[in-house]
């Protein structure tokens, strides 16, 4: 079915095609070419990160993270239940047991006030997710982790260019993951990056992503041949995609401006309607600079959420729900997940609806979406 207003539409920022042609002309379309170097250097400079390595997806960045942290059987990894499967799966792949944390009812981020009770002597890592690009309460989380000697890493798939108390999201944990999937603010279709804030991980990350070899050192001229020296896999992004990504990164200010306008239009035009009907709009604490990644409505009930999705669909508008609680998934239940374990997650997951949000969304189409929402009358 095609929609007058789809949920997502990838859009070109300008130089994608010419940069991809340049990558082809330069005879280097595998990984670690000139565009990969440019993307990594730009991200390092913008985020003040020690090292950034492009990966084929956000999922791969999380997997690389789990390998670097030597997560294995017997370890517990705390993850919010309200997140994408990869946040947990990357660690489960290494044999760890996920421990599901509930979220705060306001920002929908991991609830730091209920974090400490989940820590056991087996806890190895706490993974935070900055939902919708609004920062988690990092001061409290880092303090708890420090007290227990547990690593903190960030799944920052939503939050590139967001900040918490003025510091960029993705620079709080020893490691952080970015996603450049086509639904993200900055995209190359499928892509991601590992942000390394703790320099002890840099050298091994370069080895693991190059199939366990010291090929990166060889290319830098530091060794005269490269060989197999550690476990590893292929976590390298093609330079063709890095060329696409570089064009998007160059256009970041314009992209972020557009997304801010879209977010503020929804917030302004839906405020009174939401208040009148008991619908909650996204909450951004004053100390958080959000990334303008998404706009959601928290409807009063599941029935009303489903009815609004159907109502918008009948008008050619695609709105979608988001994460199913991980602790209630078939896999989550194998790790002891049960109903009632994360009550806020369970309730929010039923009630949340995401509105169309993409860089080329016009004000005319947004006005159409807002008008359609205001026509909704199937309140419980
Ligand atoms: C919170 C979160 N983490 C990780 C990912 C995985 O990223 P990717 O699709 O680039 O593998 C996503 C989804 O895109 C996500 O929303």
* Residue 335: how many other CB atoms lie within 10 Å: 17
Residues 6+ apart with CB under 8 A from 371: none
From CA 167, how far away is CA 169, in angstroms rounded?
7
DSSP letters spanning 243-302: HHHHHHHHTHHHHHHHHHHHHHHHHHHHHHHHHHHT-B-----TTEE------EEE-SSH
Q: Is 55 in the pocket of ligand 1 (CB under 6 A)?
A: no
Per-residue pLDDT at 380: 83
Per-residue pLDDT at 357: 98
DSSP letters spanning 187-233: --SS-EEEEE-SGGGHHHHHHHTBTTB-HHHHHTTSSSS--B-S---
The position carrying tokens 């320099």 is: 199
Whole-number Cα distances in Å, 351 to 39, 95, 321: 38, 33, 8
Per residue in 218-243, pLDDT (tens digit) is 989 999 999 999 999 999 999 999 99
- For 122, the token pair is 């087996």
Res 6 pLDDT > 90: yes
Atom 13 of ligand 1: nearest residue by CA position: 84
Q: Which atom of ligand 1 is nearest to the CA of 131?
A: 1
Average pLDDT over every residue of 186-197: 98
Q: Is 171 in the pocket of ligand 1 (CB under 6 A)?
A: no
Q: Is 86 in the pocket of ligand 1 (CB under 6 A)?
A: yes
Taken as a whole, the chain contains a residue count of 380
Res 1 pLDDT > 80: no
- For 173, the token pair is 């944990």
Q: What's the CA-to-centroid distance between 137 and ligand 1, angstroms?
A: 21
Q: What's the CA-to-centroid distance between 187 and ligand 1, angstroms?
A: 12
Predicted structure pTM score: 0.97
Q: Is 194 in the pocket of ligand 1 (CB under 6 A)?
A: no
Domains, the chain, with CATH or none:
16-250 (3.40.640.10), 252-374 (3.90.1150.10)
Q: Which helix (H) or strand (E) holds 348?
A: helix 343-351
SS3 content of the chain, % helix, strand, coil (to 5): 40, 15, 45
Residues 6+ apart with CB under 8 A from 200: none
Per residue in 64-104, pLDDT (tens digit) is 999 999 999 999 999 999 999 999 999 999 999 999 999 99
């Amino acid at each position: 079915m095609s929609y007058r207003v789809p949920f997502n539409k990838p859009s070109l920022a300008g130089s994608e095609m010419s940069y991809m042609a340049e990558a082809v002309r330069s005879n280097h379309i595998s990984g670690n070419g000139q565009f990969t170097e440019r993307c990594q250097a730009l991200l390092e400079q913008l985020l003040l990160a020690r090292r950034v390595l492009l990966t084929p997806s956000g999922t791969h960045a999380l997997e690389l993270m789990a390998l670097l942290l030597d997560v294995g059987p017997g370890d517990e990894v705390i993850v919010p239940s309200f997140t994408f499967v990869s946040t947990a799966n990357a660690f489960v792949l290494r044999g760890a047991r996920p421990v599901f944390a509930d979220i705060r009812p306001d920002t929908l981020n991991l609830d730091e006030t209920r974090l400490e009770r989940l820590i056991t002597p087996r806890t190895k890592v706490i993974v935070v997710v900055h939902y919708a690009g609004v920062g988690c309460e990092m001061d409290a989380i880092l303090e708890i982790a420090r007290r227990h000697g547990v690593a903190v890493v960030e799944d920052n798939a939503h939050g590139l260019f967001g900040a918490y108390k003025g510091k960029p999201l993705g620079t709080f944990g020893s490691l952080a993951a970015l996603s450049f999937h086509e639904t993200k603010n900055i995209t190359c279709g499928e892509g991601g990056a590992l942000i390394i804030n703790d320099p002890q991980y840099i050298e091994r990350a370069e080895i693991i992503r190059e199939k366990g070899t010291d090929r990166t050192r060889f290319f830098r001229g530091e060794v005269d041949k490269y060989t197999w020296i550690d476990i590893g896999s292929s976590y390298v992004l093609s330079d063709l995609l890095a060329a696409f990504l570089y064009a998007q990164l160059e256009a970041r200010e314009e992209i972020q401006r557009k997304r801010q306008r879209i977010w503020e239009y929804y917030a302004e035009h839906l405020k009174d309607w939401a208040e009148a009907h008991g619908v909650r709009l996204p909450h951004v604490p004053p100390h958080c600079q959000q990334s303008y990644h998404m706009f959601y409505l928290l409807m009063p009930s599941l029935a009303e959420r489903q009815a609004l999705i159907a109502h918008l669909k009948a008008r050619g508008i695609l709105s979608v729900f988001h994460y199913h609680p991980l602790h209630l998934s078939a896999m989550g239940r194998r790790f002891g997940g049960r109903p009632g374990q994360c009550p806020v997650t369970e309730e929010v997951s039923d009630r949340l609806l995401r509105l169309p949000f993409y860089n080329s969304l016009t004000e005319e189409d947004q006005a159409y979406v807002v008008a359609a929402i205001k026509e909704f009358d199937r309140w419980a």
